[in-house]
Structure 1
Amino acid sequence: MCGNSLRILARCSRRLDRLLASASVAAALSVMAGAAAPALALPQWATRGSGDALASVGAAGPTPAWLAFCAQQPQECAHNPSEPDTIVLDQSTWKTIVDVNEQVNKEILPVTDQDHWGVADRWDFPDDGLGDCEDIQLLKRRRLTQAGLPQRALRMTVVIDEIGAGHAVMMVRTDRGDYILDNKRNAVLSWQETGYRYVKREGSDSAAWVWLGNQAAPTVTAAK
């Protein structure tokens, strides 16, 4: 009697162990499934309204280095008036813009024109992996146009940065406002979030530039 009871208890114990193990596995799988599917964070452009564009206040002369660049690379300055001057921003386009900004920032080592070319100011593509701010933005623009974005909506822009120095960024004009691609950060920010003062930018036609009135971004966001 005693032996039969021990065998029954042993079988019950093994069965209970299997049930507990199964329950533990199920619980673990449930937790893993929850961890593998977090809530999708909305991109910045999807969380605010449209119309946050930076208005120009008149014509401005381009820099001499830009004119020299246009003479050497006329296709980079000849905007097609049939192209839209703003981009309809959706999830796919936003991802392309963010990816290109980050990829080029990783690829190109920032150096001054003096160290790179031996001159104070030169605008060119950083095909050797070296370049300063404007060279890096020119490469981003070329990558984005190759991805199908209209060049007319991608504007080279001159700003005063957080330390009071001249700096070049690229402004992407969209139906949800103007966004800035910058070699100082991987995050693509609206123009209001950069902390910069906006001096002038490439126009929508030919090699003309427009004056931005030294407008200040109202909100400073730390570089990322």
Structure 2
Amino acid sequence: MQASTVLAILAAAMLAVPSQSIAGSPLPASRSIGAPIGFPSACTRYAWLCHNTASHEISDDEAMPLLQQVNRSVNARVTPATDMSTTGKPEYWSLPINGRGDCEDYALLKLKTLLDAGFPSNKLAMSVVIDRGGGNHVVLLARLKSGDYVLDNLASRVVPWSSTGYTFLASQNFDNKSAWKVTLAGPRARQFSGT
């Protein structure tokens, strides 16, 4: 994910108040924010990305093994590569190309795989974060009754968002898939809130 995309999100997020949440809780969301660069064109190419579909409820006991399996499987199948090396474009959200992709490409494939398996679309959302090393990153969120969990190409296990060490900046709206919300939370949230 390009620095300019994250800088735009950070500028908007500075107006938000950071949240102190506990493990096992949903990621806090405040006001609306524009989608990251690359997301709108991906919505045009992939209808499933920006539309909720009818689906059944799934218990946490059913969901977690599926989430863990999809996270591990996609991480093993995709080779890390930049958008420039796969598409010749600086910021292009797509499913992995020839088995290669960057963080949002992994997250998109995980989302598609889970939707194809019948996972409720209103329980999945993309999220823009600052990773533990200070880098720009995209992950997939899964909302369970026990809280929001992260599927990440940099981690083999699905964990609660609050256990990642990431600072969450913005997330796709769970109920309105084409919209995004400020989700300023995590260890560096205050740094970006201006407080």
Question: TM-score when scaled to structure 2?
Answer: 0.79
The range that moved more, 182-191 or 118-127, is: 118-127
Q: Which amino acid aligns with 2:48?
A: Q
Indicate the residue corresponding to 1:210 in structure 2: 181
| The one of 141, 144, 158 aligned to 1:171 | 141
| The one of 108, 111, 126 aligned to 1:156 | 126
Q: Does 1:61 align with 2:31?
A: no
SS in 1 for 2:93: coil
Residues 122-168 of structure 1: CA deviation (Å, up to 9, x unaligned): 00011410000000011011111111111121100000011211100
Deviation at 1:169, TM superposition (A): 0.2
Q: Give the Cα–Cα distance (whole angstroms) in 1 for the partners of residues 187 and 139 of structure 2.
A: 14
Q: Judge conservation of contact 1:56–1:210 (CA < 8 Å) in 2.
A: yes
Deviation at 1:120, TM superposition (A): 1.0
Gaps of 5+ in 1: 1-48, 219-224
Q: Give the Cα–Cα distance (whole angstroms) in 2 for the partners of residues 61 and 179 of structure 1.
A: 23
Q: Judge conservation of contact 2:140–2:150 (CA < 8 Å) in 1.
A: yes
Structure whose CA Rg is larger: 1
Name segments (4+ residues, structure 1) moved above 2 Å: none
Q: Does 1:108 align with 2:95?
A: no
SS in 2 for 1:124: coil
Larger RCO: Structure 1 or Structure 2 (Cα < 8 Å, ≥ 6 residues apart)?
2
Q: Does 1:76 align with 2:63?
A: no
Indicate the residue corresponding to 1:221 in structure 2: none
Q: Judge conservation of contact 2:49–2:177 (CA < 8 Å) in 1.
A: no
Q: Structure 1 vs Structure 2: percent identity of aligned residues? A: 32
| The one of 135, 138, 145 aligned to 2:108 | 138
Gaps of 5+ in 2: 1-21, 189-195
Indicate the residue corresponding to 1:89 in structure 2: 60
RMSD over aligned Cα atoms:
2.0
